Amino acid sequence: MAKQRTVFVCSECGNETLNWAGKCPSCGAWNTLKEIAVDSKAKNKNARTSVAESSSSKPQRLSEISSSQDVRFSTGIDELNRVLGGGAVVGSLVLIGGAPGIGKSTILLQLCGEIGTSKKVLYVSGEESEHQLKMRAKRIGVENGEIFVLAETNMERILRSIDEISPDIVIVDSIQTVYLDHVESTPGSISQVRECTMALMRKTKANTFTTFIVGHVNKDGNIAGPKILEHMVDCVLYFEGEQNTTFRILRSAKNRYGSTNEIGVFEMNDRGLQCVDNPSEVLISGRPSNSPGTCVVGVMEGSRPILAEIQALVTPSGYNAAIRRANGIDYNRVTMLLAVLEKRGGLQVTSCDTYVNVVGGLFLDEPAADLATVLAIASSYKDQPLGDHFAALGEIGLSGEIRSIQNVNQRIAEIARLGFKECLIPFNSKLDIPEDKINNIDIIRVKNIREALKVCFK
């Protein structure tokens, strides 16, 4: 019997080498090389085919390629359209990742329900039987339309079904359960995931339908499988959310056809995932009344402003080294803000234990949240509430100055819309409408951290 040929594949970048090494020679990651068996015939066959089998391999003039086709279509789910950059693109591959039970299968089945009335959909499930899919579909109210389901894990048979029914949308749930016969490793292994995605990509580009792939995440929260999987597809979306809340955030990590800043907000109930039209209201609901250590800020998530609540707890430290924890906000930024608050604001906070938390599973990576963070910390330190109708915007510099931020008008409009009465903004902000004309909200301009503290804590 011929000796089985093996290669070593890096789980980070997908690079192949013939010999094992502790460090990947391509990306430099440690302990990522895994030995896999290869079928040399099949491998060559795959490697030689072009991305789109049917397209001619002759160069074409860009100006002569037809652009008349309507390449984008609505998925029927507003928040999903937003994250995809205004709808799904024909001939693209979308990878959806997220923790188990977060709602990946649910949203894709809902998508079938919305699109099935006008387009043909094939839902391939390697995890549930047809009967289980039917039960779920019934629960979330997906009954009619051109929706075909297939409980199958063999990739060759899946590709054949695609040829038979020529759908407009193909859903593969999940990429870790499907396998190709000629790849000699178990489903979910690096080579299976890579080869199956490659096969789907070729089919998608050649037949110009749209494919949604579900990808499981590993314990670090990344999609399990080689990093190269993310390079192959056109769009990578991640579902985020806390186990104990019903809210889910869909975030784009990569998008060849749109911005990666937009987020989609959903709420899970027994009818599936419902779009949340008013995320600010949801994110700041349930705030304790008149409580110290909390401040509201307006952050930009893509093109829309969303209100977020920053909470802080400052307690005397029982140890020589103070404890600091940051959840939903950059730890190093919090450390810097504590130092600025001590040196420029005169509060002895660096020797205290400090915990900062952003409510609702948002991650704030904008400097515009600095002032609200500092005020939440100061409010907890002094044990004085900022008031229920108070919000703050502004970046803080190392000299304690409050620097102007982008989109200040949009943020103020959102803050005012939700009934806030007072808003601190950077001194130099340019407003579209004069301050005295802004209804029902006092705009207070501050130059530096001392001034801000004076305004808030009399």
Ligand X SMILES: Nc1ncnc2c1ncn2[C@@H]1O[C@H](COP(=O)(O)OP(=O)(O)O)[C@@H](O)[C@H]1O
Beta-bridged to residue 23, according to DSSP, are 30
What distance in Å separates the CA atoms of residue 158 and residue 169, rounded to the nearest whole number? Answer: 13
Nearer to Mg ion, 111 or 359 (CB): 111
The first and second tokens of residue 227, run together, are 């990093």
Stretch of 98-106, 150-158, 291-299, 405-413 lying at the interface with ligand X (CB under 6 A)? 98-106
Size of the site for Mg ion (CB under 5 A): 1
Q: Decide: is 415 part of the binding site for ligand X (CB under 6 A).
A: no
Cβ 223 to ligand X shortest distance, Å: 13
Q: Decide: is 100 part of the binding site for ligand X (CB under 6 A).
A: yes
Cβ 104 to ligand X shortest distance, Å: 3
103 binds, among ligand X, Mg ion, none (CB under 5 to 8 A by kind): ligand X
Nearer to Mg ion, 239 or 420 (CB): 239
Stretch of 33-41, 102-110, 155-163, 251-259 lying at the interface with ligand X (CB under 6 A)? 102-110
Strand duo 304-316 + 294-301: pairing: antiparallel
Cα torsion angle, 105, 46, 235, 148, sign:
negative
Amino acid at 307: L
- Sequence-distant (6+) residues with CB within 8 A of 284 are 296, 307, 308, 309, 359, 418
How many Cβ atoms sit within 10 Å of the Cβ of residue 91? 17
Cβ 39 to Mg ion shortest distance, Å: 30
Cβ 360 to ligand X shortest distance, Å: 17
Nearer to Mg ion, 36 or 108 (CB): 108
What distance in Å separates the CA atoms of residue 407 and residue 430, rounded to the nearest whole number? Answer: 10
Nearer to ligand X, 139 or 450 (CB): 139
Strand duo 93-98 + 210-216: pairing: parallel
What distance in Å separates the CA atoms of residue 277 and residue 411, rounded to the nearest whole number? Answer: 17
270 binds, among ligand X, Mg ion, none (CB under 5 to 8 A by kind): ligand X
What distance in Å separates the CA atoms of residue 310 and residue 295, rounded to the nearest whole number? Answer: 5
Q: Decide: is 103 part of the binding site for ligand X (CB under 6 A).
A: yes
Q: Decide: is 270 part of the binding site for ligand X (CB under 6 A).
A: yes
- Sequence-distant (6+) residues with CB within 8 A of 164 are none
Cα 440-295-312 angle, rounded to 5 deg: 170
Pick the binder of Mg ion from 11, 81, 105, 185 (CB under 5 A). 105
* Residues between 112 and 141 that touch ligand X (CB under 6 A): 139
Stretch of 101-109, 113-121, 324-332, 417-425 lying at the interface with Mg ion (CB under 5 A)? 101-109
Q: Decide: is 305 part of the binding site for ligand X (CB under 6 A).
A: no
> Which residue number has the CB closest to Mg ion?
105
Please tell me whether residue 267 adopts helix, strand or coil conformation: strand
- Sequence-distant (6+) residues with CB within 8 A of 123 are 108, 109, 112, 133, 147, 148, 149, 150, 171, 173
Please tell me whether residue 250 adopts helix, strand or coil conformation: strand
Stretch of 101-109, 116-124, 251-259, 335-343 lying at the interface with ligand X (CB under 6 A)? 101-109
Cβ 95 to Mg ion shortest distance, Å: 14
Stretch of 82-90, 103-111, 146-154, 426-434 lying at the interface with ligand X (CB under 6 A)? 103-111
13, 394, 401, 435 from 426: Cα distances, Å:
44, 6, 9, 13
25 binds, among ligand X, Mg ion, none (CB under 5 to 8 A by kind): none
Asked if residues 455 and 425 have their Cβ atoms less than 8 Å apart, the reply is no
Instruction: Please choose, from the candidates 102, 107, 117, the residue with its C-alpha nearest in 3D space to the C-alpha of residue 212.
Output: 107
* Residues between 322 and 361 that touch ligand X (CB under 6 A): none
23, 127, 215, 358 from 98: Cα distances, Å:
28, 15, 7, 20
Pick the binder of ligand X from 82, 104, 202, 333 (CB under 6 A). 104
Q: Which residue has the tokens 């390079």?
A: 231
Pick the binder of ligand X from 162, 236, 268, 372 (CB under 6 A). 268
268 binds, among Mg ion, ligand X, none (CB under 5 to 8 A by kind): ligand X
Nearer to Mg ion, 105 or 407 (CB): 105
Q: Decide: is 106 part of the binding site for ligand X (CB under 6 A).
A: yes
Q: Enumerate binding residues for ligand X (CB under 6 A).
A: 98, 100-106, 139, 268, 270
Q: Enumerate binding residues for Mg ion (CB under 5 A).
A: 105
